Structure 1
Amino acid sequence: MKAQKNFTEGKILGPLLRFALPVLFALFLQSLYGAVDLMIVGKFAEPADVSGVSTGSQIMMTLTNLVSSLSMGMTVFLGQKIGENKAAEGGKIVANGIILFFIIGIVLTIFISACSGLLASIMNAPEEAYDMTVSYVRICGTGAIIIIAYNLIGSIFRGLGDSITPLVTVLIACIFNIIGDLALVAGFKMGTTGAALATVAAQFISVIISLVLISKRTLPFKLDKSCFKFNREIIKKIIFIGAPVALQDLLVGISFLVILAIVNSLGVIASAGVGVAEKVCGFIMLIPSAFAQSMSAFVSQNRGACKYDRAFKGLKYAIGVSLIFAVLMFFSAFFHGDMLSGIFANDADVIAASWDYLRAYAIDCLFTCFLFCFIGFFNGMEYTRFVMIQGIVGAFLVRIPVSYFMSKQDPVSLFHIGLATPCSTIIQITMCFICLMVLKKGLNKK
């Protein structure tokens, strides 16, 4: 497979950047994919629709991130086998991963469809936007298996060192999502319901086309009926690696849902403003997010080959490049957040609320370039339990308490509530530096 990369030999920065670039484009399209819903709804519907899509998409993102994070177990497992020159074992790993995530998909479909109203209530969805939030979550929940298959394809190929195929799948989904949103939201005025239908339909089309394209490619392993036999050891390994990451992402996602619930209690304008800011953040965090995914693939292969020096050098390069872009993103979001927010909304009050919240995220940009690269590194080293611990500490000991405390101050400021995020990131970075020193010391002894 031509797109497959071996990261255990040769130069580091060049191959890492060439791998990260398609990941970056894929994440950009993924962010655009989610932002298009809010952008078109913001331009052609009411603030209540914006709030409904904002809250509903945040709920769905938390649940789908749980699955995509669990699939990190397959990404790292495959990467290790590539580094050990045992790629032929990949067929059984992929097949058992498909079995595992198909079961999870069925469970999520039933849960989300049945509990959409409860989820909207827990999120304090504003009264004007409650029905719209329920509609968005229920429709997207019905397509949970499709959403899981869509994310699973990317995880498999990143484990093989292939960042091109995930880019193609996202591109296909993004194109059809834009077409669907324009038709259903702008054309037929279906608001939140139209945005949800377009999302599920686009991912379904992407999965079908991607499977056709993949079937015509040469994989480094056989994937036939004989591979689809339940293998307890493979399932346990995928869960062992991926479960801590999934739990961490779930709890971190819940912490952001708690913050959103706090903001929702302030009214529909604040709710819509934070929703717009979250979409902008999806773009300004693209560089560190790309390196986080790339580091997992890079480090897992070098760990499999016992080339730890290359893994550490890769981490330094990733942080250095991310930091350069972080400064640019900070300047743009902090001083020109109104222009960025104006892309997604027309209402002046919503734009002002978004910019106020966005200034706090701009500060966080200067720290996430370290944190995201660390997380990718530790995932690749199979230190996923540490990743879980630092995420939980940041979310529940810092982010939620600080945001709640700030929401009780008079007057209430979305900027002050948003400062909870950089506060938690600083604590998490400190923990990562300590873990890195402990890891180095342990490897030196060996």
Structure 2
Amino acid sequence: MQLNMTKGKPLPVILMFTVPLIIGNVFQQLYNMVDTIIVGRYVGADALAAVGSTGTIMFLITGFSQGITSGFSVRVSQKYGAMDKVAVKRNVANGILLSVISIMIMTAFTSSVMRPLLRLMNTPDNIYDMAYSYIIVICVGIAANIFYNLFSAYLRAVGNSQVPLFFLVFSACLNVVLDILFVVKIQMGVAGAAWATNLSQAISAVLCAVYIWVKVPDLKPEPDQWKISPQDTHPQLAAGIPMAFQFAITASGTMIMQSAINLFGSEAVAAYTAAGKLQNILTQGMVAMGQTMATYGGQNYGCGNLKRIRAGVRAALFAEFIYSIAAAAVMILLLKPCLHLFFSGDVDMTAMMPWATTYCYMCAAFFLPLCTIFIFRNIMQGCGYGFLPMMGGVSELIARLIVSLIAMRLLSYPLACFADPAAWIAAGAFTCVSYLYVMKQIEKEFSQIRY
């Protein structure tokens, strides 16, 4: 199941790796959506708004986890592309140990700042307690989140995107069962949905770890490699920290945008949350392409093939432009029927639709710049360049901050919704220019090695 991405025509190789990732990402979004559907239908619209109001904080936590673990796996994919099996195993062990340290720091920090953070984000008083109950349980489950993402990233680093998909589908199905058990049967409220997410992720992490230890000897460290290695720690942190902060910076921008949305009340927050879930599902093809390009870039950088890296980026852009247009069309067509899934019959849908329609239609018009961000950002990260992708996150933050602050000053909901497209335009332009610069730097690097 391991795929060598240094051989074959770029587009078929990229699509072969991407399709399982799309399916897996969609399943992940679906079981996140199930949380909100069950909470909205069985606990109430305010409960849905409470979960939705913490969505950007959850994105910060999960994004930071994905970023730092993906950074740890970049070194693995590069060494795998260079056929250095000893270094692959050593970096796997080092990344696990660094992840343990990261878990302790993240759990302590997020748990201590959550109450003031919810206040800072203008969380409506009528949903504040439920919002805190949900997000504090997510903080407790950071270990499960990090280890699932780490082991999945290791498998992808050696070209295996099918096995993480299998475990994710299993986890998604389990999450649905646990949601029904905790929220509907035991009536644990929003906290039950959070515990269902934590437990399903923990089981997926264990299954991934067992699979690696039994079936993927290339990723199984030797007993004498279980120690913090300075020669591996520096490059892993150099890749992981910028990737984690890039997610954190992006999430900070969305938190500012959420603060603007929160000013319009729990009804607007609930509609925005439901519409955002649909958008998240439809943009998973872009996310998956980004994950693919990180592995593709890492393996081809490891074997020194710059021409193939550029060819892969061109192929990915072609595929994603087509996907973006299709995703925008589907979102516009499915918005109304999908919105009904989130609410029980006593909710006035005619009041919800204008809030949801404004956000979805505005975002659909700007999917093209969004898709380029994932490609340019991840190909640079896969080649070991973390600073410029992180600064792309800064450009997103600045754009969201400016638009959100103006929206809060003018109390304009459409302008608050435009914060996302503004961020995509800014980051798309920045990462495009950065990619061209990085390719020139790699060209110089490879020419010096040859001569």
Match of 1:153 among 146, 151, 154: 151
Q: How far apart, CA to CA, are the structure 2 residues paired with 1:436 and 1:210?
A: 33
Q: For 1:61, give the aligned amino acid.
A: F
Which string of whole-angstrom CA distances, capped at 9 and with x for unpartnered residues, describes residues 121-140 of structure 1? 22222111111111111112
- Residue segments in structure 1 that go unaligned for 5+ positions in a row: none
Residues 1:421 and 2:420 aligned together: yes
How does the TM-score come out when normalised to structure 2? 0.93
Do the aligned residues in 2 keep the contact of 1:360 with 1:422 (CA within 8 Å)?
yes
Q: Is the 8 A contact 1:112 1:142 kept in 2?
A: no
Tell me the equivalent position of 2:364. Answer: 362
What is the CA distance between 1:163 and its match in structure 2?
A: 0.8
Q: Distance in 2 between matches of 1:384 and 1:75?
A: 13
Counterpart residue number, 2:392 = 390
Q: 1:143 aligns with which of 138, 141, 144?
A: 141
Cα distance in 1, alignment partners of residues 439 and 107 from structure 2: 43
Give the equivalent residue in structure 2 for 1:80. Answer: 78
Q: Which residue of 1 aligns with 2:87?
A: 89
Matched letter for residue 18 of structure 2: A
Residue 204 of structure 2 corresponds to 206
Corresponding residue to 1:378 among 380, 391, 394: 380
Aligned equivalents of 1:21, 1:91: Cα separation in 2: 27
Deviation at 1:222, TM superposition (A): 4.0
Residues of 1 paired with 2:318 and 2:333: CA distance? 24
Residues 345-397 of structure 1: CA distance to partner in whole angstroms, max 9, x if unpaired? 3431334422221222212312212221111211122221110112101212x
Amino acid at match of 2:149: N
1:277 counterpart (275, 278, 289): 275
Distance 2:364 2:185 in 1: 35
AA partner of residue 402 (structure 2): P
Return closer, same or farther for 1:145/1:381 CA change in 2, 3 Å cut-off: same
Report the Cα distance in structure 2 between the residues aligned to 1:318 and 1:425, rounded to whole angstroms.
18
Which position in structure 1 is the counterpart of 2:7?
A: 9
Equivalents in 2 of 1:300, 1:212: separation in Å? 25
Residue 191 of structure 1 aligns with an amino acid whose one-letter code is G
Show the counterpart of 1:324: 322
Q: Distance in 2 between matches of 1:15 and 1:117?
A: 46
Answering whether residue 313 of structure 2 is matched by residue 315 of structure 1, we say: yes
Matched, 1:344 2:342: yes
Counterpart contact for 1:393–1:428, Cα < 8 Å: yes
C-alpha contact 2:164 2:208 (8 A) present in aligned 1: no
| The one of 246, 250, 253 aligned to 2:248 | 250
Corresponding position: 1:401 with 2:402: yes
**Which position in structure 2 is the counterpart of 1:104?**
102
Letter in 2 for 1:403: S
Question: What residue in structure 2 maps to residue 191 of structure 1?
Answer: 189
AA aligned to 2:311 is K
Q: In the superposition, relative to structure 1, how do residues 235 and 202 fare at CA in structure 2: closer, same or farther (>3 Å)?
A: same
Residues 414-444 of structure 1: CA deviation (Å, up to 9, x unaligned): x332212222222222223323333444556
Q: Provide the secondary structure at the position in 2 that maps to 1:229.
A: coil
Change over 3 Å in CA distance of 1:20–1:133 after alignment to 2: same
Deviation of the 1:167 alpha carbon: 1.1
User: Does the C-alpha gap of structure 1 residues 443 and 210 become closer, same or farther in structure 2, counting only changes over 3 Å?
Assistant: closer
The alpha-carbon distance between structure 1 residues 146 and 436, as it changes in their structure 2 partners (threshold 3 A), is: closer
Residue 376 of structure 1 aligns with an amino acid whose one-letter code is: N
Q: Percent identity?
A: 25
Q: 230, 233, 236: which is aligned to 1:232?
A: 230
Query: In the TM superposition, what whole-angstrom CA distance separates every residue of 1:51-71 from its partner, at most 9, and x where no partner exists?
Result: 111123431221121121011
CA distance in 2, matches of 1:190, 1:364: 39
- Separation in 1, partners of 2:272, 2:365: 16
Whole-angstrom distance in 2 between the partners of 1:399 and 1:221: 40
Who is 2:44 aligned against? 46
User: CA shift at 1:49, angstroms?
Assistant: 0.5
Corresponding residue to 1:56 among 50, 54, 57: 54
Give distance in 2, aligned partners of 1:169 and 1:57: 24
Matches of 1:256 and 1:151, distance apart in 2: 22
Shift of 1:336: 4.4
Give the match's secondary structure for 2:301. Answer: helix
The answer to whether the Cα contact below 8 Å between 2:70 and 2:150 also exists between their aligned partners in 1 is no
Q: Does 2:160 align with 1:162? A: yes
Separation (CA, whole Å) in 2 of partners of 1:317 and 1:161: 18
Counterpart-to-counterpart distance in 1, 2:59 and 2:82: 34
Moved more, 224-233 or 17-26: 224-233
- Matched position secondary structure for 1:5: coil
CA distance in 1, matches of 2:352, 2:48: 10
Give distance in 2, aligned partners of 1:234 and 1:33.
35
CA-to-aligned-CA distance 1:208-238 (integer Å, 9 cap, x gap): 3333333321322542331111112211111
Residue 286, structure 1, aligned to residue 284, structure 2: yes
Find the counterpart in structure 1 of residue 294 from structure 2: 296
Distance 1:220 1:444, change over 3 A: closer
SS of 1:71's equivalent in the other structure is helix
* CA distance in 2: counterparts of 1:299 and 1:171, whole angstroms: 27
Deviation at 1:190?
Answer: 2.6
1:298 Cα deviation after fit? 0.5
Instruction: Give the letter for the 2:73 counterpart.
Output: T
Q: Residue type matched to 1:240 in 2?
A: A
8 Å CA contact 1:337, 1:359 repeated in 2: no
Matches within 5 A, 1:125-140: 125-140=123-138
CA distance in 1, matches of 2:96, 2:442: 35
Contact 1:51/1:129, CA 8 A, preserved across alignment: yes
The answer on whether the counterparts of 1:31 and 1:282 sit within 8 Å (CA) in structure 2 is yes
Alpha carbons 1:276, 1:345 under 8 Å: kept: no
Deviation track 1:261-298 (CA, whole Å, cap 9, x = no partner) reads 12112211111122222211211111111100000000
Whether contact under 8 Å (1:333, 1:340) holds in the other structure is no
